[in-house]
Amino acid sequence: MATASFPFPCVQKCASIGREKQTVVADMDGTLLIGRSSFPYFALVAFEVGGVLRLLFLLLASPLAGLLYYFVSESAGIQVLIFASFVGMKVSDIESVARAVLPKFYSSDLHPESWRVFSSCGKRCVLTANPRIMVEAFLKDFLGADMVLGTEIGTYKGRATGFVGNPGVLVGKNKADALQKAFADTKPDVGLGDRLTDIPFMELCKEGYFVRAEAEAKAKAVTSEKLPKPVIFHDGRLVQKPTPLMALLIILWIPIGFLLACMRIAAGSLLPMPLVYHAFWALGVRVTVKGTPPPPVKKSGSNSGVLFICSHRTLLDPIFLSTALGRPIPAVTYSVSRLSEIISPIKTVRLSRDRATDASMIKKLLQEGDLAICPEGTTCREPFLLRFSALFAELTDQLVPVAMVNRMSMFHGTTARGWKGMDPFYFFMNPSPAYEVTFLNKLPPELTCASGKSSHEVANYIQRVIAATLAYECTSFTRKDKYRALAGNDGTVVDKPKVSADKLMGC
């Protein structure tokens, strides 16, 4: 795009003071977002709904989309991406990915200058060539957009046809027509765009500003604390945004990674626990142990085992705890798949979610020896700790907090919407996954329920101690909040999903 032919000043010259009662209309790719390519977001939908074969189909179609984009029209290129990504998919699955997966990636690519102007206006509208079904959840829930005008996809009996609905892809004149229809005789105050095809809709606004494409590489995305609502819960298997090159690497790596994951799981399941630490390192799994773990409790009469209170990053937390200790530590679990239970190298005991039954079971297990529990009840990927269930504090005063943190470079080892049986495989499919296990000091008697503290006081104290160790933030979110946000259920069923969330509170 030649800036000389663009008849509007750059967005840096747009004042953001005193616009509380004004209306802003912004394009998305290259304007609200730093990146101008929508391929990574189509790739996310393709992989999360259709798997690796759909991602391969999209990748093979992308050169055609690029040729059409540059030599025929922007509209033709986008239609190819929509067809390759969506054809045959359930509309409900696309909506689910748009709510649970895409916001994390969109929010990490927000343009600072465009956001400065967009967020300063009282009424916010986004006008985009992207399918509305993909972007609306993020724009409304996380950026406070009042109106989203995007390309409508064709559907038949609840599935996407791969084609677009009337009036076609929203580019050029179609954008201007959609804006005029939405606002009638009212002129929006500010229009933001980044390419020549945005000029028709920007001319309908009282003021117009453009985002320089050459400044894209220099722009640093808006940090999460400046967003109206942080992305605490998100789903999806991919850690990094799937650019064409990254998508190709993922496709090529998956067969190798799966074989490597099987070897790593076999080593963890079949070898004696004292050898697992060394086997993991030999197979590229990095385990770092910090702090001083307590020695095994010598069993005698009424001695209770130690209850390890772990922060919850993946269902492998108790296994890496056992790896760090060099001995198997049984764990109580919530909803894990039968496959995970079968391949687990440690004893797992399911909680019933009935308070009295679970309390009796945990007490009995502690009489037999040490035990691990993750009182958050579910995993969280971001640097936050969910609310700790207080039941554990009532059952013993032998409490050792353990701060767990992990690193994954390609795949997330957790899911709310997918089959949990694949969680350990996806974690171990990372080229070099890592776990850091930090043992904190055993709780002194005066901070336990034995000295008169309430169970909630003890649970909140341990949550704060672990959060301080990891530099995480405490929240009052629960398992139900997460699953209602990402899967549309309360997390007690391992079936199909749907829906939304919000509420952050420091301890």
**Coil, strand or helix at 26:** strand
* Strand partners for 434: 286, 407
- The per-type count for the chain, helices as H runs and strands as E runs, is 16, 16
Residue 412 tokens, joined: 């997330």
- pLDDT for position 507: 40
- The amino acid at 505: M
Please name the residues in contact with 364: beta carbons below 8 A apart, sequence gap of 6 or more: none
Q: Enumerate the domain spans of the chain.
A: 3-226, 244-486
Strands 434-439 and 399-407: antiparallel
pLDDT at 215: 59
Record the tokens describing residue 103, joined without a space: 């916001």
Closest CA to 76 of 164, 196, 177: 164
Which pLDDT does position 185 carry in this prediction?
Answer: 84
| CATH pick for 3-226 out of 3.40.190.10, 3.30.465.10, 3.40.50.1000, 3.65.10.10 | 3.40.50.1000
Q: Phi then psi for 45, rounded to 5 degrees?
A: -65, -45
Integer angstrom CA distances of residue 403 from 21, 245, 331, 361, 369: 47, 35, 16, 24, 21
Q: What is the pLDDT of residue 491?
A: 57
pLDDT, residue 219, reads: 79
In eight-state DSSP terms, residue 373 is E
Residue listed under structure tokens 């033709």: 76
Please tell me whether residue 218 adopts helix, strand or coil conformation.
coil
Rounded to 5 degrees, φ, ψ at 284 are 90, 10
pTM: 0.91
Residue of 398, 157, 166, 405 lying closest to 295 (CA atoms)? 398
**CB proximity list for 199: less than 8 A, separation 6 or greater:** 6, 7, 8, 193
**pLDDT score at 338:** 83
Spatial distance between the Cα atoms of 406 and 423, rounded to a whole number of angstroms: 14
Peptide bond into 167 cis (omega under 30): yes
Q: Which stretches of the chain score pLDDT less than 50?
A: 1-4, 493-507
Q: Which residue's entry shows tokens 């799981």?
A: 265
The one-letter amino acid code at 341 reads: E
Q: Residues 6 or more apart from 99 whose CB is under 8 A from it?
A: 137, 141, 485, 486, 499, 500
Amino acid (1-letter code) at residue 361: M
β-bridge mates for residue 207, sequence order: 190
* DSSP secondary structure, 128-170, as one string: EEEEHHHHHHHHHHHS--SEEEEEPEEEETTEEEEEE-TT-S-
Do the Cβ atoms of 175 and 157 come closer than 8 Å? no
Q: In this structure, are residues 87 and 161 in contact, taking their beta carbons and an 8 Å threshold?
A: yes
* Cβ(41)–Cβ(134) below 8 Å: yes
The residue type of 168 is G
Whether residue 499 contacts residue 487, with contact meaning beta carbons closer than 8 Å, is answered with yes
Are 329 and 308 a contacting pair, CB within 8 Å? yes
**Residue with token string 């190819």:** 80
